Amino acid sequence: MGEWKSNSMPFKPPKLWISSAQLSQIHAQLLTNPKPNVFNPLLGALLDSVAPENGLFLYNQMLRHPSSHNHYTFTYALKACFLLHETHKGLEIHARLIKSGHLSDIFIQNSLLHFYIVDGDVSSASRVFDSIPDPDVVSWTSIISGLSKLGFKEEALGKFLSMNVSPNSATLVSALSACSTLRCLKIGKAIHGLKLRSLNEESVNLDNALLDFYVRCGSLRGAQNLFDEMPRRDVVSWTTLIGGYALTGLCEEAVRVFQNMVHAREAIPNEATLINVLSACSSMSALHFGQWVHSYVNSRHDMIIDGNIGNALINMYVKCGSMEKAISIFKTVEHKDIISWSTIISGLAMNGQGKQAFGLFSLMLVHGITPDAITFLSLLSACSHGGLINQGLMVFEAMKDVYNVAPEMRDYACMVDMYGKAGLLDEAEAFIKEMPVEAEGPVWGALLHACQLHGNESCHRWNDANEVRDAMRSRGLKKMAGCSWIELADPLNPLG
């Protein structure tokens, strides 16, 4: 297993001390009745208290009296180490376990394995696992879960596939997490089959993990079928399905599931649920249903329109073209963050209110909010829509030179679009030539649109347009097709 060394740094005494009376009582007990069955329960109670560091203090006292501790004492001490992130103390305990011979106990091996996983030390955790002669289901689950959580998804699945004991629901949850990230539909379906064949227990956590797996792999039909068959569903179940539909563009389905959730009253929507359904409303510009969700939020006494929910509502009203309502929500949000400001600035830009967007940007700076890439894109869009050439140039330069935000392709496209709409095609072409990166589809598309827009002003611009088309074809680029949503009158009858 390799050589283990304890750290020579002395253990620092806890900041929160056991009271003097309790300390005297502990000393008396250690002298008169130094037995593990007396002190291990006390050690466990201290670890579950508001001051778990007192547990390590007691552990150090117990070490002075050999008859006061046994192998269970070390499992408590290791728990204290991962609760308090005391890596050095954990290494010291590991060294002591090797010297004392207690390391052969599977319970201690699993505790040590868990300590290294919580500490993020994959190498040490793997060595501990490999040193266990007969790992049990707890050992396997710990290493699979640890590898998966620490980013070693393929290794986690490799361990799962090499298991020589029957997995439990926690094992399957960990394996499914790795499958979800790696989009391993085949293995995930096999785990689903294993669960149906081998596990008699009902586990909503496992069912939710399966649901998340199908959603992440893009199998919405599989997710819906599983959801319909689940014996018990909680808010995570509903939110996962709603989010899955919203993320894959099936926004009407997301709204339908949310409507069913509210009417069924099987689980109460939480913040994540509402953000997902508001995102769906935004995507299809469903103002009517978005307003209903807003009314639902107002009816909840345990929720306030602030933070993420406030931002989601602002975004929904912006995307639905209801700027007056978006601004009203923005004003009521107490804790405005960069998302709040950028969303409302973007909305003003999209609705042709460039000057108002710049006014709000100035107010944002006064409030000490540092603009990000989204803010600058919104401002450049405002300049493009409003023909604000000088302001656009100032924003573009400030973005690079003052705020150190590197322009992206969409920012360059915005600048070309700004020049193009103003009829400054020569300037647009010069801008493209001076770009530090090779122009891609959005940039060429903006130039093509400008050539088409001003083609009737000079005949040679049609030749420019054809040249741009040829350049796009030679690069395998296509102009993005337009699309739109039409909201039918109350399509889902949300108020019914």
Residue 30 in contact with residue 62, Cβ under 8 Å?
Answer: yes
pLDDT the model gives residue 455: 65
With bands split at pLDDT 50, 70 and 90, how would you rate the model's confidence at 485?
very low
Please indicate, yes or no, whether residues 356 and 462 belong to a single structural domain of this protein: no
Distance CA 283, CA 305 (A): 20
Total domains present in the chain = 3
Same-domain status, 455 and 399: no
| Cβ–Cβ < 8 Å for 172, 188 | no
CA 169 to chain centre: 24
pTM above 0.75, yes or no: yes
Q: Which of 360, 365, 331, 363 is nearest to 346 (CA)?
A: 360
Q: Rounded to an integer, what distance in angstroms lies between the CA atom of residue 160 and that of residue 141?
A: 8
Last residue of a domain, one of 133, 151, 180: 133
pLDDT(9) > 80: no
CA atoms of 334 and 18, how far apart (whole Å): 42
> Are both 355 and 468 inside the same structural domain?
no
Same domain, 387 and 462: no
For residue 303, being part of any structural domain is answered with no
> Do 40 and 99 lie in a common domain?
yes
Instruction: Evaluate if residue 45 carries a pLDDT over 90.
Output: no
| Mean pLDDT, the chain, integer | 85
Give the largest Cα separation in the chain, rounded. Answer: 105
**Residues 140, 142: Cα–Cα separation, whole Å:** 5
Mean of pLDDT values over 172-199 = 95
Last residue of a domain, one of 93, 114, 133: 133
What pLDDT digit, counting tens, does each position of 232-267 carry? 999 999 999 999 999 999 999 999 999 999 999 999
pLDDT digits (tens, 9 = 90+) for 487-496: 444 433 433 3
Kindly state whether residues 360 and 459 are assigned to the same domain: no
Range of the domain at 94: 1-133
Q: Which residue has the tokens 């050439």?
A: 389
| Radius of gyration of the CA atoms of the chain, in A | 31
